[in-house]
């Protein structure tokens, strides 16, 4: 068997259809919204890589610190022979886990980007000739079917991405992950923690404007893919902490009254001066809330690790008997 295999479970036109649906739905409701996954074309992914290196943006460094310190313990507790990574991207951080999981048989990176999966998956297969790498082009927020592989399984969902899901979406997602696992399999979850508002806002509104460019890139994506005429300079980047919901919102605020045409979905959208378009929610967590969310989905949280400054957490949970 080839050490690297790529399987597409998304139809070829699924991404285009999803973008049209999200734009049509999100820009005709009040308040206007777009999901954050549309930031990530090639340019958006490059911008996000720059964000992870900014002094204000702590999550990537904090999570890496925990992984480096705890990878051996994660390996020992999980005993994983299959590692499934949801939203794997470049798989950079995963290498710490791969090094520690000495008994690993199969690595299953899952992402919507076939090009990113191919590059990362093939590189890992080349580095580790004894490891089977079976990459899935799939949307992990919808129904997901994993390839046959030996257990126990460890599912990794890193980067705090779970915070981009609204509470009902988060509950559905965790339940769907539990449905992929047998009792005793494990989930490794990265969660950004509630902290000082100033620290949080700075992480999403850096001094050099990289995050602002990343936020506005969603408009460039819609222009290119749907023939829209958004002027990104006509919108201001805004990051706001919602203390009641304990999440950061990224928004684009219209600098003036303007009309935007989006031929790809047959929309004409009027923005009032000061009107905002929400592009991302990034929830921040407390241990008791994470524990409750996991328990509701059929997991028992057994390990909770934070970085030295208590900014970010990794938790390891076990799938309970149903």
The structural domains of the chain, with segments of one domain joined by +, span 14-39+197-283, 57-193+285-319
d(CA 20, CA 115): 22
Does the structure show a pLDDT above 90 at 229?
yes
* Burial (CB count <10 Å: 0-12, 13-18, 19+), residue 62: buried
Task: Report the pLDDT averaged over residues 109-133.
Answer: 87
The strand pairing partners of 162, in sequence order, are none
Q: What is the pLDDT of residue 275?
A: 97
Distance CA 94, CA 186 (A): 16
Provide the pLDDT for residue 15.
82
Average pLDDT over residues 284-298: 98
In order of 9, 76, 241, 309, 319, the CA distances from 153 in angstroms are 20, 13, 36, 30, 10
- pLDDT of 315 > 60? The answer is yes
Q: Which residues contact 291 (CB under 8 A, 6 or more apart)?
A: 301
**pLDDT beyond 80 at 97:** yes
Report the range of poorest mean pLDDT among 126-130, 217-221, 236-240.
Answer: 126-130
Q: What is the mean pLDDT of residues 276-288?
A: 98
Q: Which CATH number fits domain 57-193+285-319: 3.40.50.150, 3.90.1150.10, 3.40.190.10, 3.40.30.10?
A: 3.40.50.150
Element (DSSP H or E) covering residue 77: helix 59-78
Q: What is the mean pLDDT of residues 199-204?
A: 97
Confidence of residue 2 (pLDDT cuts 50, 70, 90): low
Query: Is residue 246 over pLDDT 90?
Result: yes
Of 60-69, 74-83, 112-121, 231-240, least confident by mean pLDDT is 112-121
Crossing angle, helix 42-52 and helix 59-78, to 10 degrees?
Answer: 90
166 versus 13: which is more confidently predicted? 166
Report the SS3 class of residue 95.
Answer: helix
Per-residue pLDDT band for 81 (boundaries 50, 70, 90) equals very high
User: What was the pLDDT predicted at 63?
Assistant: 96
The answer, yes or no, to whether residue 279 has pLDDT greater than 80, is yes
pLDDT higher at 2 or 222: 222
pLDDT of residue 213: 98
More confident residue, 201 or 121: 201
């Amino acid at each position: 068997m080839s050490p690297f295999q790529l399987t597409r479970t998304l139809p070829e036109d699924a991404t285009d259809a999803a973008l049209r649906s999200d734009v049509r739905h999100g820009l005709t409701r009040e308040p206007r919204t777009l999901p954050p996954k549309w930031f990530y074309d090639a340019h958006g992914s490059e911008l996000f890589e720059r964000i992870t290196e900014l002094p204000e943006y702590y999550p990537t460094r904090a999570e890496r610190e925990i992984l480096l310190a705890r990878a051996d313990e994660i390996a020992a507790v999980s005993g994983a022979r299959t590692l499934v990574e949801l939203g794997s991207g470049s798989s950079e951080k995963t290498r710490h886990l791969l090094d520690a999981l000495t008994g690993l048989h199969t690595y299953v990176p899952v992402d919507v980007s076939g090009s990113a999966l191919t590059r990362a998956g093939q590189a890992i297969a080349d580095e580790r000739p004894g490891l089977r790498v079976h990459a899935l082009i799939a949307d992990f927020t919808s129904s997901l079917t994993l390839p046959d592989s030996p257990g126990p399984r460890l599912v990794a969902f890193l980067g705090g991405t779970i915070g981009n899901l609204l509470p009902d979406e988060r509950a559905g997602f965790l339940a769907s992950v539990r449905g992929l696992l047998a009792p005793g399999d494990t989930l490794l979850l990265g969660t950004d923690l509630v902290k000082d508002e100033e620290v949080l806002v700075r992480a999403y509104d850096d001094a050099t404007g990289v995050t602002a460019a990343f936020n506005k890139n969603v408009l460039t994506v819609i222009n290119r893919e749907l023939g829209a005429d958004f002027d990104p300079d006509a919108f201001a980047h805004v990051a706001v902490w919602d203390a009641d919901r304990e999440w950061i919102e990224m928004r684009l605020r219209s600098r003036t009254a303007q009309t935007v045409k989006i031929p790809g979905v047959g929309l004409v959208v009027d923005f009032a001066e000061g009107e905002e378009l929400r592009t991302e929610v990034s929830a921040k967590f407390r241990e008791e809330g994470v524990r409750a969310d996991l328990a509701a989905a059929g997991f028992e949280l057994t390990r909770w690790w934070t970085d030295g400054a208590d900014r970010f957490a990794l938790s390891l949970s076990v799938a309970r008997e149903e």
